[in-house]
Amino acid sequence: MFNYHDGDEVPWPTPCARLQTPRDGVVLDVLVGRVVMLKVPTPYYFESINRELGTGFGARLLRFIDEYISLIFLGAPKYPIRRPRLEELPANVSAALRKYPRLAQIAKTEVELHWAVLTKLNDVQLRERFGRAIPESALVRLIDPNGLGWEAVIQRRITGPSLTEMVGHHGEIKDEFLNHASAMVAQLQRFADTPDIDCSFTNFVFEPDSGILFYIESKPPLFRTKRRNEFWRRALRSCIDRYAPA
């Protein structure tokens, strides 16, 4: 049973394993415990928030370089999956904190608070759209073995294969998962029809016991490029077209 709430202090899970070794360009350090996952933002994530949502001249210049200079020299602008909404901008963080005051208990700096607000607003919207296909989660203060605190997302761990394990890049479901094809494809449709979610196969996990296809990504889609996302969206649609009932 998931029994965590925004603002809680949570001890470091034991045992746990890191999903990947932290490195440059990784925005979340993911810890996997027996029944939960913890997602801790990295310094690079905070840099990305300042870069993509900052209002200063430097941030605007970097966005111009990404979106227009890359178009000239690479032939492909780095447009994000979607632009930030008004409530996600730095100037409106205080308004969100009035609505979700417990977020202030886990984050201390302005950029940490902004991260917490972005994550919370994204979670609320996903739940409104997809209901029980979004795992239970909360924004918490993770206490490491040395007593240091880190802002984090704690999320119920979904046990089952990801789409990366189940489906090929051309939409073909692997033989060992064909018995789940009809249940999975019926749920894929609404994700493929939603233009502003991150369609990477790693973001979807199928839980055989419940028959639910979960969307486990907790980041707002502001830091991934639209062009790459369309590759994954086409793969989702290909899978749907192959296995949808006639």
**Residue 238 and residue 223: Cα distance in Å, rounded?**
25
Q: How far apart are the first and last CA of the chain?
A: 39
Q: How far is CA 61 from CA 1, 16, 65, 206, 242, in A?
A: 47, 41, 6, 41, 44
pLDDT above 90 (res 51)? no
Domain ranges of the chain: 9-48+78-156, 163-243
pLDDT band at 162, cuts 50/70/90? very high
**Residue 66 and residue 196: Cα distance in Å, rounded?**
19
> What pLDDT, on a 0 to 100 scale, did the predictor assign at position 69?
59
Could you count the other beta carbons within 10 Å of the beta carbon of residue 19? 14
What is the mean pLDDT of the segment spanning 159-180?
92
| pLDDT tens-digit readout, 52-62 | 776 665 555 55
pLDDT above 90 (res 47)? no
Residue 94: enclosing H or E segment and its boundaries?
helix 93-99
What would the DSSP string read from start to end of 195-237? TTS---GGGEEEETTTTEEEE---S-TTSSBHHHHHHHHHHHH
pLDDT above 80 (res 43)? yes
**Residue 117 and residue 107: Cα distance in Å, rounded?**
10
Structure tokens at 6: 């925004």
| pLDDT tens-digit readout, 1-38 | 899 999 999 999 888 888 876 666 688 999 999 999 99
| pLDDT tens-digit readout, 73-121 | 555 566 778 888 999 998 899 999 999 999 999 998 999 999 999 999 9
- Cβ(30)–Cβ(21) under 8 Å? no
Buried/exposed code over 178-211 (b: 16+ C-beta within 10 A; e: otherwise)? eebbeebbebbeebbeeeebbbbbebbbbeeeee
**Residue 232 and residue 225: Cα distance in Å, rounded?**
11
| pLDDT tens-digit readout, 188-209 | 999 999 989 999 999 999 999 9
The values of phi and psi at residue 161, to 5°, are -80, 145
- Hey, is 40 helix, strand or coil? strand
Structure tokens at 173: 């479901």
The values of phi and psi at residue 76, to 5°, are -150, 110
Q: How far is CA 54 from CA 37, 45, 148, in A?
A: 29, 13, 28
**Residue 156 and residue 151: Cα distance in Å, rounded?**
17
Helix/strand number for the chain, H first, E second: 8, 8
> What pLDDT, on a 0 to 100 scale, did the predictor assign at position 214?
98
- Hey, is 69 helix, strand or coil? helix
> What pLDDT, on a 0 to 100 scale, did the predictor assign at position 58?
58
